[in-house]
Amino acid sequence: MPDFAAIPRAASPQRRRVQVQPARRIRVIGVPIDLGASRRGVDMGPSAMRVAGLEARLEALGHQVTDGGNIRVEIAETQAAGNENAHYLQQIAETCTHTAEAVVKTLEEGMTPLVLGGDHSLAAGSVSGVAEFYRRRGEKIGVLWIDAHTDINTPESSPSGNVHGMPLAALLGLGPEPLANIFGYAPRSPPRTPC
């Protein structure tokens, strides 16, 4: 039987210094979109985050927060769904273009955009804005996509026609075209496998 007293104990945890990042100037941009999904309701996300005290919590961390309001989004009941393989594609592309422009403007003003949504389709706009800002500076971005789904469907491969399953495909330049060519070029971030 082993002598447990002879087994060394783990060193007691030492206090670590937490290095606080410098305060940021943050602009909150709401994108209350639910056109990309088959279930309604996620358009309330930006309002819910604001009501829950997002601004106060960020300010408590030392950041300066400005609320940039919401990007205008069409309401599904007032629109034709369009192509059955990519519902509301034109309306979503328009919303994503406005989102991308707001993100570029925010970065040009030296602020950090914090985009609140909405369904996943808005990523085609938010990431396009970041990519465009850095492209103008001669730099590239990388995207680390973490999701339960790949969101890399195209209208040809989508089983549902829901555009919220297509933003990564758009960012990689695979389509659908109105989302893939925001700012007139694609891809925003070329696909690469991890090293």
10 within some domain: no
- pLDDT of 5 > 50? The answer is no
- Model confidence over 27-64: pLDDT tens digits? 999 999 999 998 889 999 999 999 999 999 999 999 99
In this structure, is residue 179 part of a structural domain?
Answer: yes
Is there a domain that residue 2 lies in?
A: no
Q: Residue 11 pLDDT > 60, yes or no?
A: no
The average pLDDT across 150-172 equals: 94
Distances (CA, A) of 64 to 5, 103, 112, 160: 54, 17, 10, 41
Percentage of the chain beyond pLDDT 90 is: 77
Are residues 130 and 159 in contact, defined by beta-carbon separation less than 8 angstroms? Answer: no
**pLDDT of 72-96, one tens digit each?**
999 999 999 999 999 999 999 999 9
Total domain count, the chain: 1
Question: Domain with 52 in it: what CATH number?
Answer: 3.40.800.10
Q: Is residue 13 part of a domain?
A: no
State the pLDDT at residue 4: 42
- Minimum mean pLDDT among 128-137, 153-162, 185-194: which range? 185-194
Task: Kindly state whether residue 170 falls inside one of the protein's structural domains.
Answer: yes
In a domain, 49, yes or no: yes
Quick check: is 17 in a domain? no
Q: Is pLDDT at 117 greater than 90 in this prediction?
A: yes
Which residues constitute the domain of residue 47?
A: 23-183
Residue 12 lies in a domain: no
